Amino acid sequence: MPEVKLTAERRTEFGKGAARRIRRADKVPAVLYGHGTDPIHITLPGHETLLALRAANALLSIDVDGTSQLALPKQVQRDPLKHTIEHVDLVLVRSGEKVTVDIPLQVEGEAAPDTLVVVDHNSIPLEAEATHLPQQLVVSIEGLAAGTQILGRDLKLPEGATLAIDPETLVINITGAPTAEQVEAELAEAEAEAGIEPTVAEESTDEEGTDAAEGDEEPAAESRDDA
């Protein structure tokens, strides 16, 4: 993955008020740390940082006071409504250094008909060189039948990368799709266990059926009286 260059500025103001002023200036407060060094509090250009962090595990070259250092995003805080970046924690890395990161899993293709695909892990922890991190792991499920399981050891890893989880970890499980009757039965069982009473509509239907049955008996009584 090519590195993305960002020019940072040191910041000396802290607190919520200072952070709001930084964001109003279209900048992002951040902290740079690692390798036993003291944390460096910086601001990053807002738009460029937003674009750079669209990619998972983006490798950043941070220029502070004319000195460039490689870093990876450790934690990114985003505004849940505006989707803007609120704050970034950056960890220093070196070329050739191995790090453990979560790599997004991309599932491609369609399994065999009448199957249900359950993805147990949307990302996979890998140990790889900081400067050669994959953006994603691609897994094809094209045509796979019910009963197929894809484990950690089945994943195709990029050169130099190793799994950071148990190789026997279940990643994707393909089962037979449930029938409509099975879904209804499971729903009814779940409702019964939860103590859910029949709905008003169901009760009304039962009452209407009872009234109709009683109504059918009245003419018979009248017939006996007429006789």
The mean pLDDT value for 166-185 works out to: 90
Calpha distance 88→43 (Å, rounded): 9
CB neighbour burial string for 209-218, b if at least 16 within 10 angstroms, e if fewer: eeeeeeeeee
**pLDDT reading at 39 higher than 60:** yes
In the structure, what pLDDT confidence band is assigned to residue 196 with cuts at 50, 70 and 90? confident
Per-residue model confidence as pLDDT tens digits over 49-62 = 999 998 888 999 99
Separation of alpha carbons 86 and 27, rounded Å: 9
Given a cut of 90, whether residue 87 has pLDDT beyond it is: yes
pTM of the model: 0.70
Q: How many angstroms from the chain centroid is the CA of residue 63?
A: 31
